[in-house]
Amino acid sequence: MRHKEIERLIQQRLDRELNPDESARLDKHLARCSECAVFFQEMSQTASLVQQIDEMHPQVGFNARILARLGAKRRFAWSKAGIAFAGSWVAALVFFIYSSLPAQILGRLTTSFPSIVRLSEKVELVITSLSQVLTPVFKNALSSANPAIGLVFSILFVYFLGKALQKEVKCRA
């Protein structure tokens, strides 16, 4: 095979377009022709080094100049803030329900307002009926898992709050 033909095959291999037959022919020739083998090795190395040349960057402040020209605006991350807000409310509610505070408030109200007593009795009756009919097993499981639930909600609250803050810091950078 002539060297010119081999050079065409070498170029095609660097183009990632060599078929298996041509590839085998090229390898066979390279194994016995040192001149072509050196040429192939140098060409491959050159191509591979091009890939490794350093990436460069414009000066600091480039983004700011573009954003200023575009008139880009910061959008408040409503979805993240909403999740953090809802998480904090749920966590606070869980702590409130499982603390002694509701019982103390209810005790005071029953002595002061008889009408509220009647209302609370009705509400209690509805809740008790629902819990007895619908979720006796769930209720037991829930009461034994109280501390864990509180902990999970607290972790979720801290996580989402952290994410929202992180986003805020990134936007300002």
Partner 1 sequence: MKTRGEITHLIEKALDRDEEACTRILNLYKGRIFSYVFRMVRNYHDAEDITFETFIKCFNALASFDTSKPFTTWLFTIAHNLTMDHFRKHKIELEYCDEFHPSSDDLPREYEKKRKIEQIDQALSQLPPLDRELIILFHKEENTYQEISEIMKIPVTTIKTRLHRARKKLHGLVHKKPEKQ
- Return residues touching partner 1 (CB under 8 A): 11, 14-15, 42-43, 45-47, 49-59, 62-63, 65-67, 69-75, 167, 170-171
Q: What is the dihedral of CA 105, 111, 117, 121, to 10 degrees?
A: 70
Minimum separation from the CB atom of position 25 to partner 1 (A): 18
Minimum separation from the CB atom of position 28 to partner 1 (A): 22
- Residue 94 identity: V
Half-sphere exposure at residue 171, Cβ-oriented, CA atoms within 13 angstroms: 12
- Smaller CB separation from partner 1, 51 or 100: 51
Q: What is the dihedral of CA 155, 159, 165, 171, to 10 degrees?
A: 180
- Smaller CB separation from partner 1, 14 or 90: 14
- Smaller CB separation from partner 1, 72 or 92: 72
Minimum separation from the CB atom of position 165 to partner 1 (A): 15
Residue written as tokens 């409503």? 78
